[in-house]
Amino acid sequence: MSKRISKSRKFFLIINLTLLIIICLVMILPFLHVLAQSFSSSGAIDRGEVILWPVEFTLDHYQYVFQDITIWRAFMVTIFITVVGTIFNLIATASLAYPLSRREFIGRKIILFLVLFTMIFSAPLIPTYLLVQKLGMLNTLWALIIPTAISAFNFFVMRSFFLQIPSELIDSSRIDGCGELRILFQIVLPLSKPALATLAIFYAVFHWNTYFNALMYIEDRKLYPLQVKLRELIVDENITADPASAVFSSMLASSPEGMKMAVIIVATVPILLIYPFLQRFFVKGLLLGGIKE
């Protein structure tokens, strides 16, 4: 027997669905506009004919983007930062969250307060820069990985998930002779795949979009990540300064908007492709990470 839905419930569902559709359109339409321009000719873009569908379809923009050495170099730098940085982040976050999730750990409240303090009050820019300089990480890719090893928000998500693991399981493992590292890597982490997948997405997106830290700590153009290269393309006028991008620069001069849109798509699509593979872990991790007994 089907349940009857009241008028107020129907009204709520209609309003809710309408708002969700509007939000989706606001998010998707600009992306479709950029995608359409990347596949359109420069003449159609200049005439303002491109809205949500390519006009005078062409692959020239992507052809020149993929021929540019500096774009590929920045792409590989970003992949390195994302992969290595995400792995480093997950190891560091789990290593801190696990002991602080165990009630027998002495002094955990003080450390939790210090982590929470960094979440509320972030370090000033100049002291952070001086610290990175003293550690000898300026103009290295490690300056984009090590200073952001642990996010306070992600740490609390991971710790909240660890709190859901029964303490009896940990105690029985200790009775069987397991050390703390073995318990962490062979028992706790395999049970925490949803939380790890959730944090992996957060960290990967952060590293993929690395921009400000790269501007602050990186001077060598060969170490520029993709987002800084994209900023250089859109903002700077001196793109032709790099002889390796001569072909790219010639195309940029003849079709600037189309080239910019193509680079934006190249910089955006790869990270979007990661989400479908981790979606089921991502949703489960968000739900379990917020449950309290």
Shared domain for 87 and 185, answered yes or no, is yes
Distance between CA 123 and CA 187 in Å, rounded?
35
Q: What is the CATH number of the domain that holds 107?
A: 1.10.3720.10
Position 1 in a domain: no
Assigned token pair, 258: 């189309």
Shared domain for 49 and 67, answered yes or no, is no
| pLDDT attached to residue 167 | 80
Shared domain for 12 and 103, answered yes or no, is no
∠ Cα 19 22 25 (to 5°): 150
Q: In the chain, how many domains are there?
A: 2
Shared domain for 66 and 52, answered yes or no, is no
8, HSE (Cβ side, Cα atoms, 13 Å): 0
| pLDDT attached to residue 178 | 79
Full-model pTM = 0.78
Shared domain for 45 and 73, answered yes or no, is no
Distance between CA 196 and CA 180 in Å, rounded?
19
Position 2 in a domain: no
Shared domain for 78 and 154, answered yes or no, is yes
Asked which of 43, 58, 73 is the last residue of a domain, the reply is 58
Going residue by residue through the chain (293 aa), what tens digit of pLDDT does each one get?
456 777 788 888 899 999 999 999 898 898 899 889 888 888 888 888 888 888 888 888 888 888 878 888 888 999 999 999 999 999 999 989 988 888 878 888 899 999 989 888 888 888 889 999 999 899 999 999 999 899 999 999 889 888 888 888 888 888 878 787 888 888 888 888 888 888 888 899 899 988 888 988 998 888 999 888 888 777 754 444 455 455 555 555 556 778 788 888 888 888 888 777 766 666 555 555 444 44
Shared domain for 52 and 76, answered yes or no, is no
Distance between CA 120 and CA 115 in Å, rounded?
9
| pLDDT attached to residue 292 | 44
Distance between CA 271 and CA 206 in Å, rounded?
10
Shared domain for 21 and 75, answered yes or no, is no
Shared domain for 131 and 175, answered yes or no, is yes
| pLDDT attached to residue 88 | 94
Angle between helices 274-289 and 256-272 (to 10 degrees): 50
Position 267 in a domain: yes
Shared domain for 200 and 282, answered yes or no, is yes
Q: Could you list the residue range(s) of the whole structural domain that residue 38 is in?
A: 7-58
Distance between CA 162 and CA 188 in Å, rounded?
8
Shared domain for 122 and 250, answered yes or no, is yes
Position 103 in a domain: yes
